[in-house]
Amino acid sequence: MSNGSEKIYVCATKNKHDLPANIIKQLREDCGDDKVVEIRSDLFNFKNGEQKPVINDSVRRKEIFLLWTIEEHVDTEILKLMFYMDALRRAGATPIRVVMPFFPYARQDKKKDREPISASMLARIYELIGADHSITTHLHNDAIEGFFFKQFDKVGTQKLFLGAIKTYWEKTYGEFNPSDWMLIFPDEGMAKQVRELSERIGAGGYGGFAKHRIRPNEVAKMEFFGSCEGKNVIIIDDMVDTGGTLAGAGKQLIELHGAKTVIAVATHGLLNGKAPQVLQESCFEKVFVTDSVHIPEEKKFDKLMTVSLAPMLAQVINKISKDESIHYENW
């Protein structure tokens, strides 16, 4: 173990999301109750919106895995993470490994006109305050890894989704054969990942869209490249926000390009605005997301299927604690 201890020390920021508790539960199942120590904390909220976390257990010279998830208000959760990191650092924790299934502001990854590169700014602030190691899942743009100067690990979700889709399809229709499916990227940023995944699993081909955006969450035109006539299709994205663009892509694949069945996959189910209604009324057979962000009951809909990240992230934490390799293709 990298800190010379036999135990794994885990601390979770406080909110309504149950993913941190599920990760800890999975760790205990995998490693044994006596090997996993949950660092207790309290979070005090003041009337004016200020937050103050208090770490209740000694963390001096301990390797801490800080589990951070987003409930609803992104900026509030970002500040909460910073306060937790600062509290842990001042209490003597080292190293602090931040497990953030969803990295916010990832869409602000490049400069256009007089705009901030917010993803870069957040990476620098996290590391300045106390993050010695950052661990996340599907990024909007892999170049974001370059914004971090300290240790950084990204684990993919493709294996989780393919397993969930295979289980659903075999339970509903029978045999699932990857060669019967075509993988689609919704914009050019996903092209390389989709192509590599298609080759790795032996899919029946891949294709994708080129988007012409007017402004955030609004697309003027989508051009499809490829041929999916008579094929089953999986369209893969990093996140689904308002759902309009993803639903429009699915509609185009069926109505204009002859796809038989379309399943949507997005690691981060933000589901803002009318997204639940839009996606429920879309042509998608199912919409698969993970629990990287908290999805309240009012955002859930019949076509939505949620895949838990807890088993994968627990395994990642276990491997890191033992100085074992995390090879991305394993995920």
Q: Active-site positions?
A: 211
- Strand order, beta sheet including 206-215: 218-225, 206-215, 181-185, 232-240, 261-269, 287-290, 304-307
For the record, the structure tokens of 228 come out as: 């999916």
Give the amino acid at 48.
N
Per the CB < 8 A criterion, the answer to whether 22 and 316 are in contact is: no
First-to-last CA distance in the chain? Answer: 22
Give the amino acid at 224.
F
* Beta strands 36-38; 8-12: pairing state: parallel
CA gap 160, 138 in Å, rounded: 12
Q: Exposed/middle/buried for 319, CB within 10 Å: 0-12, 13-18, 19+?
A: middle
CA gap 86, 130 in Å, rounded: 6
Cα dist from 319 to 47, 60, 131, 279, 314, whole Å: 41, 22, 19, 37, 9
Phi, psi of 82 (to 5 degrees): -60, -40
* Beta strands 304-307; 287-290: pairing state: parallel
How many alpha carbons lie under 13 Å from residue 54 in its C-beta half-sphere? 5
